């Protein structure tokens, strides 16, 4: 997990100790909801208002992941697939676009850490960028 730029020893250890068994989630996408990094729902009839994140799960890990997301999106973060994802969300503008971008990157980071933990693969920071460009160098 430490191979992901921005993830330190404290975040990696907290992630492992909080999740405990990576196989208890059928999909890595469920980890974001488990940690409360998804919008809360309050649907009624035709209404589906935009709400804040649910803040369920472990508060410490959520704060650490948000801190890591701030680093990735900040001036010292290296180039990876997470950075353009956050920048795209932040560029939409709006009242809380930067905060939304940070939370989105934190959620995506949680999903990435879980999938890396399950698969045991090496982290490729520009995996999706290479796929979209055809993987060919000019």
pLDDT tens for each residue of 85-105: 899 989 988 888 899 899 999
The pTM (predicted TM-score) of the whole model is 0.83
Domain count, the chain: 1
Domain that holds residue 84: 9-43+61-125
In a domain, 29, yes or no: yes
Q: CB of 86 within 8 A of CB of 104?
A: yes
Average pLDDT, the chain: 86
Please check whether residue 138 lies inside any domain of the structure.
Answer: no
Please check the confidence at residue 131 and state whether its pLDDT lies above 70. no
pLDDT over 70 percentage in the chain: 91
pLDDT value for 46:
80
d(CA 60, CA 51): 21
Give the pLDDT of residue 52. Answer: 74
Whether 52 is in a domain gets the answer no
């Amino acid at each position: 997990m430490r191979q992901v730029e921005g993830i330190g020893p404290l975040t990696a250890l907290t992630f492992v100790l909080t999740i405990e068994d990576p196989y208890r989630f059928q999909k890595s996408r469920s980890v974001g909801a488990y940690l409360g990094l998804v919008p809360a729902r309050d649907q009624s009839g035709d209404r589906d208002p935009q709400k804040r994140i649910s803040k369920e799960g472990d508060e410490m890990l959520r704060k650490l992941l948000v801190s890591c997301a701030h680093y990735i999106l900040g001036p010292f973060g290296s180039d990876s697939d997470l950075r353009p994802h956050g920048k795209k969300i932040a560029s939409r503008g709006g009242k809380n676009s930067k905060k939304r971008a940070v939370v989105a990157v934190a959620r995506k980071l949680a999903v990435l850490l879980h999938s890396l933990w399950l698969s045991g693969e090496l982290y490729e920071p520009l995996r999706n960028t290479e796929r979209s460009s055809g993987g060919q160098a000019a």
